[in-house]
Each structure stands twice: as C-alpha cells, then as structure tokens.
Amino acid sequence: MPLLHAPALHVHHVSVRFGEAEVLSDVSFDLDAGEFLAIVGPNGAGKSTLIKVALDLVTPLTGHAALFGEDAGRHPERVGYVPQLKTFDRTFPATVLELVVSGLRRSWPAWVRAAERDAARAALAQVGAEKLATRTLPKLSGGELQRAFLARALVRRPSLVLLDEPATGVDFLAEHDLYDLLERYQAVGGATVAMITHDLAAARYHASRVAVLNRRLHGFGTPDDVLCESCLKKAFGHLRHAHGIAV
Amino acid sequence: MTELWEVFQLPFMQRALLAGLLVALMSSVLGVFVVQRGLSFLGDGLAHAAFGGVALGLLLGVEQPLWVALLFTLVASLGIAWVRDRTQLSSDTAIGIFFAVSVALGVMFVSLETEYSVDAWNLLFGSILGIGREELLIIMGVTPLSLGLLGVLWGRLAYATFDAELAQTDGVRVRGLEYLLFALAAVIIVASVRVVGAILIAAYLVIPAASARLVSRSLSGMTLLSVVFGLVGTAAGLVLSFFLEVPSGSTIILTQAAVFVVAAVFARR
C-alpha cells in the first residue's frame, strides 16, 4: 500500500559494491513530491548507480530505495527515465514515434495504434518536437534525440522523472530548453524531478534540492545551503582551477 | 513453366521446398535479433556445436543423432549466454571459445568411431534434396513453436534489443529473455542443419536480416522484409540449383547474397 504523503524518493542507508569497489556508502535522503533534485559530484561518484538503485536496476548491498512509499521497481509506469544518450545504439532502425510509443506501451511496438499515435504526438508537441515524429533515430542530432527521449519519458505522465546526464552532447541552448521543459512539466502536474548533472550553475538556478555525492552523501539541501565551498570541496577534493569555477 | 511444374511434382523437391521455406521463415525472424544484437557469429558457432552433437550421437550409436545434437547445442548456446552474462568478454570471444571446443570434440568423436560415417560430415554441407520424411516432420513441428514464441515475445525482445536497461526499467525480464533467445537459436539451428548444412546456416541466419536492415526504417519493417528475402531466396535458389545442376544449399545462399547486393545498392544512407 502506498503511504500517504510518502516522499517521492526515499533512499535509506544505501550501500553498493561492485566487486571490491565501494560505489555508494550509506547514502540516505528523502525527496518530497514536487521537488526538483540535482545530483552533482565528480566522475565515478556513484550518481548513475544511485539512479539505478531507484529504478531497481541495481540491488544495494545494504539499505533500500522506495518511490512514493513502495519498493523501487514496483510501479514502473509512475517513473519516466531519460538515460545517458551516449549509451544508445544510434543505428537502431526505429522512428521517433515508435520510440515514444515504447514509453507508453512498455514494450516495443510492431505497429502503432491510433490512440498511441495521438498520445505520442501530444508528448512530442509538449517538448517542441512534433516535427520529429516520422524521422528515424539515426538521422537525429544530439538535441533532437534528447527531446525524443524526454517525450518518451513524459508520454506516460510519470509522477517522478529521473534523468542521467541529459545535457551530455547537447549545446548550451538545448540544455536550457530541457530545464525549461522540465520546469513546465512540473508546474502543470506537480511531478518530481531528479537529475544528474555536471553543470553546477544549472543546479543552482533550476533545482530546489541538491545532493552532493562522492560515494557518500556530502550534502543534501537547498542550492544555497549545499553548493558552498566546504561542501563541494569535500565531494570533489579541490575546487580551484586557474580559470575558477562558476557555482 | 510446365517444366517447373513437373519439377515440383517430384516428392523430394516438394519436401525440399517445404523444408527450405520453413527454415527460411524461422531463421529470418530470429536473424533480425541476431543481426541487431551483433551476434552474427552465433549461427556459425551453434551450427558447429550441432556438428559436435551429431558426431557424439553417431559415436553413441543412437537412432536419431539430431536429438543428441539438440542437447549438445543447447548446452553450448546457454554456455555462450552465461559467459556473456557473467564476464566482461565480448560475444565474439564467448562464441569463438564454444565454436572451437565443439569442432574439436566433433572431430574427436568422429575419429573414435570404428566405421567411417558419412552423416556427420554430410551435416556440414547440407543436403536439402535428400531430406527425409522424419526430418521434415521435425522442422514442421519446430516451426510453429518457434514462430509462436518469437511472435509472443517480439515486442519484449525488440525492446531489450534496443536497450536492455530501458527494457528492464519497464519490467522486461531481460536476462531470462536473453537465455530464451539463445535456447531458441539452438533449437532452430539444429532443426535447420540438415537443410542447409552447418557451414551455410550462419549465412542463412544473417543475410536476409542484414539485407532487410539496409532498406528498413523500423524493426517491424526489417522483420517483414527479412522473411520475404528469406523465402524468395530459398525458393529461387532451389529452382536455380535444380536447373543449373549445382548444390542446392550453396545456391540458396548465393541467391540470398544477390538480394543483399541489390539491397546494398538501394540502401538508405
């Protein structure tokens, strides 16, 4: 049974090991419904692993994750996931419409029904990509592919949207368009967003909560509280480069 | 035309055509996942595992060595899937190991036989015109089962082929599907080796799907075209081989290769 007023994402003493390597160590936090969480940290900090624990793709050694009061993986229809785009086979023969319908059907469509087509076109329109419907995936640019995957995630109207470095490989404008789209989606339906990013300025500007991670959770709170020098220094080891950093 | 009609009045040609079309149907649908998952070497590896199995069956003196081949190939196929699942090794490496071991065992089993057996080596080259009633019945039994399974699982297999992780987040049991796909490949290949032979089954599994891939916009379109190319290549190759008096298995594959060349010319870039 879902708990009333349960957090959208509850991470409870989660530790993950891959062989000898400790990837996450005793990570705990609660993310309330309607929040926009940015997960920041250096490469290899366990950010993607944390998202995968929330998706029930990785089973933690200790601890657990729950979404809206129920075990992770129980209700995939409530979650929209945008994975790292660089992991995809860009040569796969598929149209954008089929990709979006796969998010609706949770299976790959051999053919697309009229109702599915309408829903997919509406989702594409929502992310400003209605013209991409009949295009094939190998023909898309990085920004177009990102919009297609976002439409795929949003077509089922999820209560929680999880994004793994969605801005990788896209230009500055496409990145900020993405954040605006997510904020609009949140404003309409009150959804929760959790996003991995390396862009600390974007985390400060768009997120309502920030998690600073480097195997351990070094900070969780509002951007003003968490994106401070001492907290970032603990996670990243050092902060200063000759050209400085913008936080 | 009359001559063609007369050719297909011959019982052995009727059996050859029916068996060839059924094998084309199964391998063309399966081939879509084989090609799209980058497992093109799988057909080669499992066909040679089938050779090892038949050689073992002959050594044991069983009445129908294909059943031993089925077990042997299933073990090899699931072994390849297990190595892929449990190690960081690539598919080609895993298949290559089982390929080499199966051939080595097959050669050893053949050498241990007291009488020289034509059948084990015959398997490598195929003999579609010599297919017997029992072998035809096996293919007729395997075809609806494998096509039914592929039909039911197509959406989930396609999803997992597109991206295993995404499919898993949506509740698709990716690992179980992978083992099932490998087991199905073993069954289809063992049922097919008598038709086109161990050497040619790999090409049979890859060429129609690869040709379809070149001219398709979607995976469902690729599946349909793969079936059409497989069926046309088989029927045309069989007829050509009869009139040209050349080996049927080779002619079928060469016909499919001609279709591939045409598809490559018209390929979407």
Cβ separation A95–B218 shorter than 8 A: yes
| B185-214: pLDDT as tens digits | 999 998 888 677 777 788 889 999 999 999
Number of domains present in the structure of chain B:
1
Q: Is residue A223 part of a domain?
A: yes
Mean pLDDT, range A79-90, rounded to an integer:
82
Domain that holds residue B89: 2-265
User: Taking 80 as the threshold, does the pLDDT of residue B268 lie above it?
Assistant: no
A interface with B, Cβ–Cβ below 8 Å: 55-57, 73, 76, 79, 81, 83, 87-89, 92-95, 98, 102, 105-111, 136
CA angle A57, A61, A63 (to 5 degrees): 90
| A165-214: pLDDT as tens digits | 887 767 777 788 888 888 888 888 889 999 998 888 888 888 999 999 99
* Lowest mean pLDDT, pick from A232-236, B172-176, B226-230: A232-236
Measured distance CA(B72)–CA(B58) in Å, rounded: 13
Measured in angstroms, the CA of A90 and the nearest CA of chain B are apart by: 10
Measured distance CA(B71)–CA(B187) in Å, rounded: 9
Mean pLDDT, range A54-71, rounded to an integer:
92
DSSP code of A19?
A: T
| B92-149: pLDDT as tens digits | 899 999 989 998 998 888 888 766 555 666 666 667 888 888 888 888 999 999 999 9
End-to-end CA distance of chain B: 39
CA angle B37, B39, B42 (to 5 degrees): 150
The CATH number of whichever domain residue B61 belongs to comes to 1.10.3470.10
Measured in angstroms, the CA of A233 and the nearest CA of chain B are apart by: 33
pLDDT confidence of residue B230: 95
User: Taking 80 as the threshold, does the pLDDT of residue A30 lie above it?
Assistant: yes
CA Rg value for chain B: 18
Task: Show residues of chain B in contact with A160, CB under 8 Å.
Answer: none
Band the pLDDT of A160: cuts 50, 70, 90: very high
B241-249 contacts at long range (C-beta below 8 A, 24 or more positions apart): B242/B7, B242/B13, B247/B125, B248/B16, B248/B126, B248/B128, B248/B129, B249/B125, B249/B126, B249/B127, B249/B128, B249/B195, B249/B196, B249/B197, B249/B200
Number of domains present in the structure of chain A:
1
Cross-strand pairs, A214: A216
Q: Is residue A138 part of a domain?
A: no
pLDDT confidence of residue B18: 92
Cβ separation A57–B172 shorter than 8 A: no
Mean pLDDT, range A146-159, rounded to an integer:
92
Is residue A244 classed exposed, middle or buried when 0-12, 13-18 and 19+ CB atoms within 10 A define those classes? Answer: exposed
pLDDT confidence of residue B133: 83
Band the pLDDT of A4: cuts 50, 70, 90: low
Q: Is residue A152 part of a domain?
A: no
Give the mean pLDDT of chain A.
87
- For residue B170, give the nearest of A76, A92, A98 by CB distance: A76
Mean pLDDT, range B220-241, rounded to an integer:
94
Band the pLDDT of A2: cuts 50, 70, 90: low
Measured distance CA(A164)–CA(A169) in Å, rounded: 12
DSSP code of A5?
A: T
Tokens 């040209």 belong to residue: B244
Please count the other Cβ atoms lying within 10 Å of the Cβ belonging to residue B208. Answer: 32
Measured in angstroms, the CA of B48 and the nearest CA of chain A are apart by: 29
Strand pairing of A160-164 and A192-196? parallel
Measured in angstroms, the CA of B160 and the nearest CA of chain A are apart by: 9
Q: Is residue A54 part of a domain?
A: yes
Task: Show residues of chain B in contact with A19, CB under 8 Å.
Answer: none
pLDDT confidence of residue A241: 55
Which residue, B72, B49, B76, is CA-closest to B62?
Answer: B72
Task: Show residues of chain B in contact with A107, CB under 8 Å.
Answer: 155-156, 158-159, 170, 172
Domain that holds residue A24: 9-88+159-236
Give helix then strand counts, H and E, for chain A.
Answer: 8, 10
3-class state of residue A197 by DSSP? coil
Cβ separation B155–A107 shorter than 8 A: yes
pLDDT confidence of residue B4: 76
User: Taking 50 as the threshold, does the pLDDT of residue A243 lie above it?
Assistant: no
Which residue, B43, B53, B105, is CA-closest to B75?
Answer: B53
Query: B89 or B125, which is more confident?
Result: B89
pLDDT confidence of residue B33: 96
Q: Which residues contact A71 (CB under 8 A, 6 or more apart)?
A: A56, A64, A65
Cross-strand pairs, A36: A193
Measured distance CA(A61)–CA(A22) in Å, rounded: 10
Q: Is residue A27 part of a domain?
A: yes
| B14-60: pLDDT as tens digits | 888 999 999 999 999 999 999 999 888 898 889 888 888 888 888 88
Measured distance CA(B28)–CA(B25) in Å, rounded: 5
Measured distance CA(A9)–CA(B205) in Å, rounded: 46
Which residue, A107, A89, A153, A166, is CA-closest to A127?
Answer: A153
Is residue B146 classed exposed, middle or buried when 0-12, 13-18 and 19+ CB atoms within 10 A define those classes? Answer: buried
Cβ separation A106–B170 shorter than 8 A: yes
3-class state of residue A93 by DSSP? coil
3-class state of residue A134 by DSSP? coil
Cβ separation A93–B216 shorter than 8 A: yes
Cβ separation B162–A109 shorter than 8 A: no
DSSP code of A95?
A: B
pLDDT confidence of residue B198: 72
Say whether residue B221 is in contact with chain A using an 8 A CB cutoff. yes
The CATH number of whichever domain residue A42 belongs to comes to 3.40.50.300
